[in-house]
Structure 1
Amino acid sequence: MRMRDTFLKPMHPEGRRFVAAFAVVTLILFLIWEPLGWIGVGLTVWCYYFFRDPERVTPLGAGLVISPADGIVSLIERAAPPPELGLGADERLRVSVFMSVFNCHVNRAPVPGEVVKVAYKPGKFLNASLDKASEDNERNSIVIRMRDGRDLPVTQIAGLVARRILCFTREGAHLSAGDRFGLIRFGSRLDVYLPEGVEPEVRVGQTMVAGETVLARLDEVAS
């Protein structure tokens, strides 16, 4: 790998207009006072890295559930999927990955399968690391139906400073594990609801890499 590739990552197209706006403001700040301009340079670089979209090497193997987001595992608990998905009130083990404003915010499919449901719900913009953010915050959920017929819900949740959830997939689409399916600006959370009997292979506080970190194994059912 070349040194340049270590620092220069591909940028998601969604970020181009934001980086351009930051750059214009930076030029104005230089005209006003040079030290302000250098602060603008730092913020422009941050904006570029926020929208980075690096290539990921997704592990191959049947039954793997891959992390859909970069960030830190903030919660592991039992909870019912969002009611708008129509999956009933039975609780599942939910793994929440919190993304700070310094994480890559491109979201990736945790398992291969068909998208059988996409549901958006408006809401608040509480700190996404809080438990009640799953119920109160703006969110967008998808349900991926795997080859064995089991459904795996994934929910994008807006955070304290996030003001838009983007979903790039639609009902009827077929995803491979690691495929990009959405993005959230700026600071947010992803919830994954595991099928009954499946235990996570991660712990609270663990760092996750979207499209690469194994979150759980579907073929290892708790006895």
Structure 2
Amino acid sequence: MTIHKEGRTLLFVLLIILFGINYLIYWLYPAYTVLQNVIIGASVIFYLLILQFFRSPRINTEVNDKHIIAPADGKVVVIEDTVETEYFNDRRKQISIFMSPVNVHVNRSPVAGVVKFFKYHAGKYLVAWHPKSSTENERTTVVVETGNGLEVLFRQIAGAVARRIKCYVKEGDRLAQGGEFGFIKFGSRVDIFLPVDSEVAVKIDQKTTAGKTVIARLK
């Protein structure tokens, strides 16, 4: 287990701040050992909560060009046929995964291929499960074309707490299946749009692991 690069500076600064707070309490109230212990305990718990959010486990993806792999750790909240209006402008099968603050927040490519389209959208910060979050919230859209000519769209969506999306790809980049393409801080959602005849391999409320869980199979 390693710490993701997005969290290293924050964790270092937070450690200094918490150390400073605890030293100040000790200096101001040297006789109040109960208060000191409470502040120390609260500081340790808070730091560990932030630390676990930025964990980045090593993942070995079983590569298969017929499989769509989960792009995020979390819970499946949407499985439906819908019209994707930003790129395809036709009907697609949508699968959405919600990431809570306790999930790993590394985002991984569901397929291998070349990035054909990328766009960042500034926007609102509605709760990630809101029906309009995928079209009105801050988000990025990535389309990857596989070696078979299939195009898969996946979209990072910021939520009410997650207010910083990081996407590391640009058009023309080549992604490996299960390879890291982004990170979203403190809870959010990822939508995937597939051909309507794709065979869905997950159910609503099922837990997923980025880079490992097969969420759909291509015909």
Determine if the TM-score, normalized by the shorter chain, exceeds 0.5. Answer: yes
1:124 is paired with a residue whose SS is coil
The answer to whether 1:87 aligns with 2:79 is: no
Q: Equivalent residue for 2:42?
A: 39
What's the TM-score once normalised by structure 1's chain length? 0.89
> Counterparts in 2 of 1:25-174, with a 5 A limit?
25-31=17-23, 32=25, 33-34=35-36, 35-83=38-86, 86-88=87-89, 90-174=90-174
Q: Which residue of 2 aligns with 1:209?
A: 209
Q: Is the 1:71–1:100 contact (alpha carbons within 8 Å) kept by the matching residues of 2? A: yes
Q: Distance in 2 between matches of 1:67 and 1:199?
A: 14
Distance 1:121 1:82, change over 3 A: farther
Q: 1:22–1:43: 8 Å Cα contact kept in structure 2? A: no
Are 1:15 and 2:16 counterparts?
no
* Letter in structure 1 aligned against 2:18: T
1:70-124, Cα deviation, whole Å (9 max, x unpaired): 00001112223352xx322x12111000000000000000000100111111111
2:69 maps to a residue whose letter is I
Which protein is bigger by CA-based radius of gyration?
2
Query: Percent sequence identity over matched residues?
Result: 38
* Distance (Å, rounded) in 2 between the aligned partners of 1:69 and 1:82: 23
**Equivalent-residue separation in structure 2 for 1:207 and 1:167 (angstroms):** 23
How far does residue 148 in structure 1 lie from its aligned partner after superposition? 1.5
Question: After alignment, is 28-37 or 129-138 more displaced?
Answer: 28-37
- CA distance, structure 2, for counterparts of residue 161 and residue 179 of structure 1: 25
Kindly indicate whether the alpha-carbon contact (under 8 Å) linking 2:81 and 2:196 is maintained by their aligned counterparts in 1.
no
Following TM superposition, the consecutive aligned residue runs of length 4 or more in structure 1 with deviations greater than 6 angstroms are none
The letter for the 1-side match of 2:57 is: P
RMSD: 1.3
CA distance in 2, matches of 1:36, 1:194: 50
Cα distance in 2 for residues equivalent to 1:82 and 1:18: 37
Q: How many residues align?
A: 208
Residues 23, 44 of structure 1: 8 Å contact kept: yes
CA distance in 2, matches of 1:29, 1:41: 12
| Matched letter for residue 10 of structure 2 | F
**TM-score under structure 2 length normalisation:** 0.91
Name the aligned partner's letter for residue 53 of structure 1: S
Deviation sequence 1:184-213 (CA, Å, 0-9, x none): 011100000012311311011000000000
Contact 1:158 1:165 in 2 (8 A): yes
* Residue number in structure 2 paired with 1:3: none
2:65 and 2:111 in contact (8 A); partners too: no
In structure 1, runs of 5+ residues without a counterpart are 1-8
Q: Deviations over 1:44-87 (max 9, x none)?
A: 1111111111111212323110000000001112223352xx32
Gaps of 5+ in 2: 26-34
